[in-house]
Structure 1
């Protein structure tokens, strides 16, 4: 099958990583894949066999029109059998394309429980007719879009993200090496958070909770926050306020996330807003204990394999972190249960297979409207 994946960008966000992971999986399964990014720059790893086009779109009418025309020309020449868009700007551009040209079926996937304000919801509603299907990565996110009037309930379904369980798996050797490189003593507990440094990830709350944890326990502990973003200065200030310079590290962008998850004694998600947080699934796939706020998509991932606390509640988060550290990694059966939950329900192979079934079903129902290459 010829699959075009259209993404707002290809930086290191969760949605972008999912696009790249699907591209790699589809290529491995023998399909032709093109990845089109609206914006420049690329941090995710794409397969060599995938065709890549970056439209370098800016938020001006002229640039958007030019990007739409470039996309139209690419679709006419590359001839995909399906267009699968990810994130709001790509979703709307794909629908605009379908409105002005003959296209294969268009699928639009939303990745956040808060896709935007009233104008974006209105844009979704007005362009819904040009999407063959809209999906969301979590039930809460789907319901939020229905409640906002962005899409009728009958025209949006849930399709979760897939977790690469080959890359993210328990690895004792990687744990030893990573902890040694981080300079961690054997009895030091490492708490790990992964996410862009933006307000919706609420990492200031996490630092507040960690300060409470440090004040209430004698157990040596360090917190590492992996990611970059505009909140870095605010987080640095919060670290100084709590005098945690020696205990909290803003680790920046890292390519060794699987090793870090193995090195960690606890993964903590503090987010206010999510869609389906990949890092939670990746932590579980590495058998790492998890504590999380009740952001969208978390409950479906965790099940009974972690603890969930209310968003915005630093004391509750600190208490859950303290309890999890006291419990340690858990028994071999508990560790196996964390990984098995992801392998059985959210593996990348399984999710990619579900997408291919969806693509094939839509393609069968769609008339052959694609234009011959110019």
Structure 2
């Protein structure tokens, strides 16, 4: 193995990323953030997108190839051939796949001929049912390493039989702490844009409108919060298949003036600055980036005990049982009543993220892992 200070250890790497998609999910945001950090550190990045379309903000120097893969054997074979052609041309030092479909595709790709080291990263504590766990287990030997973003998620994969304990490690998500920080002028502008009045308290939730995020339970909890604290407002940033159902729930509770679905947004840092409290209501996570971003912004966080939350937040967040609307309501009301809090509390929340999850430090951990696997070859 090359010494840390040797020229070979510091040689720029060519990193090929394989992803299920590039929409506005947490895993996709992490791929984009890591790509930016890798490039800032002098490396090259290319992405194979199994599907079509890019919603996350990628650095301009990233080469993206869309494979337009569908769930048919012919389409999958065509995607494998195209991917092999791109890899032969680009000559990566390592292939890093993300999410269930990207991971299984990368493993299948590794069976088609010589490949650089292949790493597969899982981002959810529930990667799927028994069939997906079986697919992971059968193809495990076709990759060099599997990672998960949290210890809770790692243990879940082991328990499901998807991967042996010695073949999966934790590599946490990273937070771009330069983007997520307090800014009083930005806060006032965004609060005006959102139509918030002086004295109103903004509770913010960020996440796709899907069952795993359990915003229905959040709205139920907020009904009690609003009854106790009528100056509270809830905004949910995200879109998804449950939008109409959640809108009906809000109207049925008579909360149209207090709860707003604001759709998918690309201005999350500004929304966090405008907020007073951040809330996560998820049933299932891996390591929720939104919680880390809120803490980096200095916000009080109230969250369900979804996988990865406690590892990320430590003792600087209020954590309630999954699915417990009454407990979430109590946590939110307590957080609102404690506002505005102190600068020392805000500093401690931000330091929780800076000390362990800053994106630059996490990117360097990945680069060290890539070099270790490459040199092992």
TM-score (norm 1): 0.97
Cα contact 1:288–1:329 (8 A) shared by 2: no
CA displacement at 1:64 relative to structure 2: 1.1
Among residues 211, 222, 247, which one is paired with 1:236 in the alignment?
247
Q: Is 1:223 the counterpart of 2:261 in the alignment? A: no
**Offset of residue 120 of structure 1:** 0.6
In structure 2, the residue matched to 1:178 is 190
Matched residue count? 365
The SS at the match of 1:100 is coil
1:121 matched to 2:137: no
List runs of 5+ in structure 2 lacking aligned partners.
1-12
Secondary structure class of the residue paired with 1:122: helix
**Does residue 150 of structure 1 match 2:150?**
no
Map Cα deviations across residues 175-231 of structure 1 (whole Å, 9 max, x no partner). 11111111111210000000000000000000000001111234x011000001000
The CA distance in 2 between the partners of 1:265 and 1:177, in whole Å, is 15
Q: CA deviation at 1:299?
A: 0.2
Q: Decide whether the 8 Å contact of 1:80 with 1:104 is kept in 2.
A: yes
1:363 aligns with 2:374: yes
Per-residue Cα deviation, 1:261-286 (whole angstroms, up to 9, x for no partner): 01101000000000000000000000
Quote the residue 2:5 is aligned against. none
The alpha carbon displacement at 1:155 in A equals 0.4
Correspondence for 2:284: 273
- The answer on 1:16 being equivalent to 2:28 is yes
**Inter-partner Cα distance in structure 1 for 2:170 and 2:198:** 42
Residues 105-126 of structure 1: per-residue CA shift (max 9 Å, x gap): 0000000000001111000000
Deviation at 1:82, TM superposition (A): 0.3
Runs of 4+ in 1 over 6 A off after TM superposition: none
Map of 1:1-374 to 2, 5 A cutoff? 1-218=13-230, 220-366=231-377
Residue 352 of structure 1, CA deviation: 0.1
Root-mean-square deviation (CA, aligned residues, Å) is: 0.7
C-alpha offsets along residues 57-94 of structure 1, whole Å, 9 cap, x if unaligned?
11111111111111111111110000000000000010
Q: Where does structure 1 lack aligned partners over 5 or more consecutive residues?
A: 367-374
Structure 2 length normalisation: TM-score?
Answer: 0.96
